Structure 1
Amino acid sequence: MPNSQLENLACQLARSHAVSRRPRRRPPLVDRLRGQEALLHDAYRRFAEASEVQLALSYAAEWLLDNFYTVRQALRQVREDMPPGYYRRLPKLATSPLGGYPRIYAITQEIIEYHEEHLNLDQVRLFVQAYQRVTPLTMGELWALPTMLRLGILENLTQAIARVTELPPPPGPSLPSLPSLNEHRPEPFGFAQDRPAEGLADETVVANCILSLRLLATQDWKVFFESVSRVDQVLSLDPANVYARMDFDTRDRYRGVIEELAQATGRTDQTGQDEEEVARETIRLAEEARRSKARSPRTAHIGFYLLDAGRRQLEARLGYRPPRGARLSRWLFGHPTPVYLGTITLLTLVILLGLVWYALVAGGTLVQLIGAGLLVLLPATAVAVSLVNWFITHTVPPRVLPRMDFQEAIPAEYRTMVVIPALLTETSEVESLSHQLELHFLGNVDPHLHFALLTDFADAPQKHKPDDDRLLRQVKAGIQALNKKYSRGSSGPFYLFHRDREWNPGEECWMGWERKRGKLIEFNSLLGGSKETSYTVQMGDLDLLPEIKYVITLDADTSLSRDSASRLVATLAHPLNHAEFDPDSGAVVAGYTVLQPRVEIQPTSANKSLFTQVFAQDTGVDLYTRAVSDVYQDFFGEGLYAGKGIYDVAAFENSLAERAPGNALLSHDLFEGIHGRTALVTDVSLFEDYPLHYLAYTRRLHRWVRGDWQLLPWLLPRVPHAGGGTMPNGLSVLDRWKILDNLRRSLLMPALLALLIAGWLWLPGSALVWTLAAVLAPAMPLITGFVTGLARRLRGIPSGRAVQSVRADAIRWLLALVFLLYETLLMVDAIGCTLVRLAITHNHLLQWTTAAHTIRLFGKEIKVALMWHQMGAAPILALALVLLIGMLNPAVLPIAA
């Protein structure tokens, strides 16, 4: 049939269809799959048995035997792609013979009939487009099209196989035939020939059905959907010219909001016209903002009204009033800080008052009651935080950031530099840096992506050391070799920026100015055109530096996974993620300056030692690291910066202007993240190494705790100013909580030990109660993990990984109790050292040891003598504590042991 006749047929069909708001009840079409599957399996078994004994097989039998995997795949896809809730939402026909069945099913029946089961997707596209010129289809129907085509093809295949094998047809009610298929229609069309009056032979039907199932399995239905979606065509008129340049997942989220609003407004006639009208209203709002030259550029983009603050403006235009449940949800998400902190406070009070009440009942004095409350405060808070975070992560869906589509290449206006700030310490590390830079390049090749080392020499008592020149020559040679190997015309993608040492009186040594933070600050200045930096060596095509818009910063032990750089750039480039500043305070009020990918442990690193096998799991159960980053992003819309991610150079510098005092920030990542506003990119991962053994882990932990306590002044009403003196603290309550939460975690181990000792020697009541109160606080990840695994099993979800996770949680909990005394001493030392330096000496605030230097110091395998040297105080104090308990309260020795 010519295309014009096909389009006329589609239009005629559309005019004949009427959709019912209250359709007659029909059994779901998917219910027929079970019978079809049984018949097809039975036929396949018979044909296979006949083939084994060398019996001659029919043409249909050979097709089924050779392609049964295609049939099985189609059966599985129909079952997976048509859940009951989705099926119920599909518009149903009001008129016979298919009254009560989905309209899209009737459309696919027409298509299959006239194609004689051998589909041509170009003509399917024409048919759908022509149908929608009369009656637009909903987006749900368009997505259901491939499933309904498979369903119809499987129905015809089953009937043909039943006739060939003389098997009884599948049980269940048969579908009514369509009189319109044989009446009042132009002549039917096919591929090889017109359908004869008596119909195709069953062998041909089987072959055509299987060929069509193959075709349906290989089609990119995302492309097909967007080619026939009228909503997509409307949204492509985005005044900001952004929609068409976004990636598919982001466009699909926009369309999902359109679909949601169309259904929620209650104006739907189930023809798809309501969805198109919602899309047009969105375009009108964005166009009005563009013409009015609104202060915020994002308001001229349709995404502002679908995913951002303009959503309520669009709803008002549509006359949408959210139901009570939606209003409650919006209130909760509209006030995340009081909801989150209020819930934690309430749970903490419940636990605390419960234990204080127990002390009161046990006959405690006023001093003991006050002491019990103070001792229980931090463990109770730890339990409350764990429960609230666990609840949020299991009830709030992940907040995925919108993204542009830079799959082919990063545009020139988003030119990006990937940098590794590092120290030049020895030959092997310099070789490793060059190799790491090459790996980043090979996994992320793009003409507008460049790669650089930002290097310093290690701290020294003098400005120059004998090995400096050799190490510098080596790193230069490495960059030159990489550029020669991967040259792009006259230049290559690799750069080197090296700084000489400067005298730091606070650290009493020669070192790179401000360490890693200083390297990035000076590099940003270099990109801005400044010549006043301490980068004495600059290698690469320096003319391109002013064109660099974004920087991806990585640690020396961090791996940039394949194509992750372009995905990070594409995410930060989306207009809804652009940072916007308050003109008065200079604070970031919308968007982000920094994006933090998810950081996971290298699989090879996780298996290097027994220690890493137990601890190197990104399960979010570590009491000090990576516990709540997803919670912040999903509930608050902003995450935590871990120092590895992408930032907008100009916006990042603007957010930190005059806010960071010199020589005072060891752990600057959190500081930069809360001032620049950070988002967690949950669907992009970086991989890093994990400390090889426990001593390396605790050395890193000690440094982290010192860095966190150096942020203590930012909890006060006035904070240090970059130029000296103080300034009003502009941090939000949430930002201050992020700082306080890190301090809380560092105090947990000392608090647990204090509670145990007091429970054994001083607090009223049973020592067992106080012991359980202390040891259960660090067991919360184990408890919540067990509950999660149990819930998965009750829902019939495979729980093998959950069981492994619970086992690992149990081991880590027991080890936390074993090392409780040592880690308490470690925390007290780190906190005390920092407080003395902050309040009295003001020296050595930047004291820092690299992971590589720690390994050189302790070795790759821990020695018993070294363990005793580093941790000997803990068992000695433990023995002293046992003796003290034996003298003062020997009855609790079995519990304390």
Structure 2
Amino acid sequence: MTRAALAIPTLDQENVIVIKNKPRIFSRRRSLTSNERDTDLLRGELLSIEQLKRHAVMLASQHKIDPYPRPDRLLSRLADNEHVLHAAYDVVTASTLGQRIVPAEAWLLDNFYLIEQQIAQARQHLPRGYSRQLPRLKDGSSAGFPRIYDLALELIAHMDGRVDSDNASQFIAAYQSAEPLKIGELWAFPIMLQLALLENLRRVVLRIARRREERDAAIIWADRMLAAAEREPKQLIHHLAEFANADVLLTAPFVEEFYARLQAQGPAMAFVQTWVEQKLLEQGVSATQLSATAASTAATNQISIANSIGSLRFIGVMDWRDYVESLSVVEQTLRENPAGMHANQTFVTRDRYRHVIEDVARGSSQSEIVVARAAIDLAQRAADQLGRNERSAHVGYYLIDRGRPLLEQAVGCRLTRRVRFRRMSRNFRLPIYLSPILLITTLVTAVVLSAFGGIALDDWRYWFFALTGMIAASALAMPLVNMMVTLILPPRSLPRLDFSKGIPDIHRTMVVVPTLLSKSQDIDDLLEALEIRYLGNRDSNLFFALLTDFCDAHECIQPGDEALLAQARTAVNTLNATYSEDRTCIFYLFHRPREWNAVDRVWMGYERKRGKLEQFNALLRGEAQSAFSEVVGDTAILASIKYVITLDTIPSCRAMLHER
């Protein structure tokens, strides 16, 4: 059943009585609509979630994709909707000054700013030609429009404009159980919902504006008759005759407003009401019936505009990234990655993988699902042969790394000349980079030497100016070429893991601060800074440590060494006791003794900062067990530390605790 068959009666389909056989419509009313369907609400049979899911499966079996490109019709329709919405808003705004406002009109006036925002966003997110990349329907009521746009229309029609995360997710999921959607279609769904809701609002607002015009007409006629009855009662019969000859449409809104005005005057207008009632009875309808029709239509308009505006607000606050990933069949396929890391990556990284799937699918005759499955199969084959920890066992190796040609070969992807040239040029990156530098240097040097044309080649001055000119020209050429390279070849971001919800156990991390123990106040400052860092990063798999040495000295042991070390030891233990409810051990101290440096002829920590980090990493690997003379904290977790983050001391300490 089509949406046209399910549409509720429009204003023109209401009980309308025409005084004469030649009805007239206000010129403004004609300007608001070009055809009768403009007021047909996107409203079909209201469905439950289960019925909606069955309807989605039925649509999947009915949709036929047009293989040929078609012109973009969405932008032109959006522009037309914007024009109609503004025109209708102007009608309501101008007519309601000093008049009674019905609830549907109040919804429009209070929320029109939101409608304008949504129109601007829709135009911004729907660049010209964008919808051409989406599969289009070959036939049906939405022929020529993107398939995903038709799904948005269907959802709005059978939910009466009320869209939420539940019905949107289940509707699309049910459709994909029969026919998977492309990644681009899923991303386009929010904007298509916006366009469909704006389309529905256009129709609702047109109905509201028409009803307002009909009420305005009733007010004009009623006021003329009331004024005549007050000034010259004898002229009232002439106004009634003029009313009868004016071809006025006795619509439900007109009669309701007309009666409301006349009834306030009591018996003086009784014969006018009697005449109108007689005309209505001749057509088989009463004023009471028209009033009920008007109330029903007003309620329908109010519900439709309220649901549509509420759905527009929902679209603005919905996290569509999670929505797309939860419904993307490609994403679910990629999560079968044998390395088990795909789901733990950042959204940007996962989205980059999906874009590659789209590109490869466009270059081949295979669907996105087939391409994703081929990438998983290649990764699984590598995992079986080389192990899951091998780089080629990760699906990203075949999407953004050196394994991509293998994937393209597996699915029969045809590369464009531009892509082939770009890949071929990677083998000659250094010559390509140096060539423009040499060219610019040579040209600038030649220009400089041309100013010294009278100097012979065997003159030393010629070669002096040539050499200095080349040095100066290269200093100009290199930054110029570097700037051009950054503009032509933007940097490619590396894949990243997502730790926004916490660091997993397999990525346990130690934050270390290499420093010196020199004064008591410095130790207090260091531990305070370490505590502040923890309070800002209270992750269960994040630990904090000081890597300390004593200051350089002419002897191995200095008088105040033990006191400083004891203070540091006590401070670390105190911090662990303070936050023992979080974890038993969070803070650590790793201290090294002085060693004799024969070159500098001084007792010092081995290789200072670099040596501390080197020996600490060795300790994590189970080596250099004797490198640190003092270790405070639970050493059982050291073997599970995978990453080490190195921080400098805080600025206030750095001035006092600098390492040579």
TM-score range, shorter chain: 0.7 to 0.9
Alpha-carbon distance change, 511 to 360 in structure 1, aligned in 2, over 3 angstroms: farther
Segment drifting more, 275-284 vs 35-44: 35-44
Aligned to 2:498: 405
Deviation per residue, 1:272-295 (Å, 9 max, x gap):
xx1111111112222222333369
Alpha-carbon distance change, 471 to 310 in structure 1, aligned in 2, over 3 angstroms: same
How much does 1:326 deviate?
0.7
How much does 1:375 deviate?
2.7
Secondary structure of 1:201's partner?
helix
Are residue 22 (structure 1) and residue 78 (structure 2) matched? Answer: no
Secondary structure of 1:278's partner?
helix
Segment drifting more, 243-252 vs 441-450: 243-252
Alignment of 1:242-253 (within 5 A): 242-253=341-352
Alpha-carbon distance change, 533 to 517 in structure 1, aligned in 2, over 3 angstroms: farther
Tell me, yes or no, if the aligned pair for 1:420 and 1:555 is still in contact at 8 Å: yes
How much does 1:242 deviate?
2.5
Tell me, yes or no, if the aligned pair for 1:417 and 1:452 is still in contact at 8 Å: yes
Alignment of 1:709-748 (within 5 A): none
Segment drifting more, 383-392 vs 295-304: 295-304
Alpha-carbon distance change, 437 to 54 in structure 1, aligned in 2, over 3 angstroms: farther
Aligned to 2:437: 344
Alpha-carbon distance change, 312 to 490 in structure 1, aligned in 2, over 3 angstroms: closer
Are residue 57 (structure 1) and residue 101 (structure 2) matched? Answer: yes
How much does 1:257 deviate?
0.6
How much does 1:452 deviate?
0.8
Alignment of 1:315-394 (within 5 A): 315-360=408-453, 366-394=459-487
Tell me, yes or no, if the aligned pair for 2:163 and 2:311 is still in contact at 8 Å: yes
Unaligned 5+ runs, structure 2: 1-46, 214-294
Tell me, yes or no, if the aligned pair for 1:246 and 1:403 is still in contact at 8 Å: yes
Tell me, yes or no, if the aligned pair for 1:23 and 1:100 is still in contact at 8 Å: no
> Which is helix-richer, 1 or 2?
2
Alpha-carbon distance change, 378 to 468 in structure 1, aligned in 2, over 3 angstroms: farther
Structure with higher Rg: it is 2
Deviation per residue, 1:679-711 (Å, 9 max, x gap):
xxxxxxxxxx9xxxxxxxxxxxxxxxxxxxxxx
Alpha-carbon distance change, 119 to 531 in structure 1, aligned in 2, over 3 angstroms: closer
Alignment of 1:65-214 (within 5 A): 65-68=109-112, 70-166=114-210, 201-214=300-313
Tell me, yes or no, if the aligned pair for 2:455 and 2:462 is still in contact at 8 Å: no
Tell me, yes or no, if the aligned pair for 1:24 and 1:99 is still in contact at 8 Å: no
How much does 1:151 deviate?
0.8
Deviation per residue, 1:528-573 (Å, 9 max, x gap):
2335544222111122212212111122248xxxxxxxxxxxxxxx
Distance 2:452 2:564 in 1: 64
Paired amino acid for 2:481: V
Deviation per residue, 1:221-253 (Å, 9 max, x gap):
122212222212222222233323333222211
Alpha-carbon distance change, 538 to 142 in structure 1, aligned in 2, over 3 angstroms: same
Alpha-carbon distance change, 368 to 424 in structure 1, aligned in 2, over 3 angstroms: farther
Paired amino acid for 2:75: V
Distance 1:32 1:279 in 2: 35
Distance 2:578 2:86 in 1: 57
Aligned to 2:359: 260
Are residue 11 (structure 1) and residue 53 (structure 2) matched? Answer: no
Tell me, yes or no, if the aligned pair for 2:72 and 2:131 is still in contact at 8 Å: no
Aligned to 2:328: 229
How much does 1:218 deviate?
2.3
Distance 1:533 1:346 in 2: 58
Deviation per residue, 1:59-83 (Å, 9 max, x gap):
1233234444543442233223222
Distance 2:547 2:173 in 1: 56
Distance 1:484 1:81 in 2: 54
Paired amino acid for 2:464: G
Secondary structure of 2:515's partner?
strand
Are residue 291 (structure 1) and residue 406 (structure 2) matched? Answer: no
Tell me, yes or no, if the aligned pair for 2:69 and 2:132 is still in contact at 8 Å: no
Distance 1:312 1:514 in 2: 46
Aligned to 1:659: none
Secondary structure of 1:421's partner?
strand
Secondary structure of 1:107's partner?
helix
2:373 aligns with one of 272, 275, 280: 280
Paired amino acid for 2:502: A
How much does 1:367 deviate?
1.6
Secondary structure of 2:487's partner?
helix
How much does 1:335 deviate?
3.6
Alpha-carbon distance change, 354 to 514 in structure 1, aligned in 2, over 3 angstroms: farther
Alpha-carbon distance change, 250 to 438 in structure 1, aligned in 2, over 3 angstroms: same
Distance 1:390 1:212 in 2: 46
Secondary structure of 1:495's partner?
strand
Distance 1:213 1:490 in 2: 46
Are residue 526 (structure 1) and residue 654 (structure 2) matched? Answer: no
How much does 1:296 deviate?
7.0
Distance 1:45 1:502 in 2: 86
Alpha-carbon distance change, 398 to 60 in structure 1, aligned in 2, over 3 angstroms: farther
Tell me, yes or no, if the aligned pair for 1:525 and 1:533 is still in contact at 8 Å: no
How much does 1:311 deviate?
0.3
How much does 1:142 deviate?
1.0
How much does 1:108 deviate?
1.1
Aligned to 1:852: 655
Distance 2:440 2:339 in 1: 47
Distance 2:473 2:175 in 1: 63
Distance 1:465 1:48 in 2: 87
Aligned to 1:710: none
How many percent identity over aligned positions?
A: 39
Distance 1:542 1:315 in 2: 48
Alpha-carbon distance change, 459 to 385 in structure 1, aligned in 2, over 3 angstroms: farther
Alpha-carbon distance change, 50 to 457 in structure 1, aligned in 2, over 3 angstroms: farther
How much does 1:398 deviate?
2.8
Where relative contact order (Cα < 8 A, 6+ residues apart) is larger, the structure is: 2
Alpha-carbon distance change, 351 to 486 in structure 1, aligned in 2, over 3 angstroms: farther
Alpha-carbon distance change, 503 to 292 in structure 1, aligned in 2, over 3 angstroms: closer
1:500 aligns with one of 593, 596, 603: 593
TM superposition score normalised by structure 1: 0.55
Paired amino acid for 2:324: F
Distance 1:488 1:548 in 2: 22
Distance 1:100 1:110 in 2: 16
Tell me, yes or no, if the aligned pair for 1:23 and 1:99 is still in contact at 8 Å: no
Aligned to 2:261: none
How much does 1:44 deviate?
6.2
Alpha-carbon distance change, 20 to 410 in structure 1, aligned in 2, over 3 angstroms: same
Tell me, yes or no, if the aligned pair for 1:491 and 1:540 is still in contact at 8 Å: no
How much does 1:428 deviate?
4.8
2:647 aligns with one of 554, 573, 596: 554
Alpha-carbon distance change, 344 to 204 in structure 1, aligned in 2, over 3 angstroms: same
Secondary structure of 1:399's partner?
coil
How much does 1:156 deviate?
1.2
Tell me, yes or no, if the aligned pair for 1:23 and 1:93 is still in contact at 8 Å: no
How much does 1:199 deviate?
10
Secondary structure of 2:655's partner?
helix
How much does 1:459 deviate?
2.7
Secondary structure of 1:84's partner?
coil
TM superposition score normalised by structure 2: 0.73
Paired amino acid for 2:202: T
Tell me, yes or no, if the aligned pair for 2:513 and 2:547 is still in contact at 8 Å: yes
Aligned to 2:531: 438
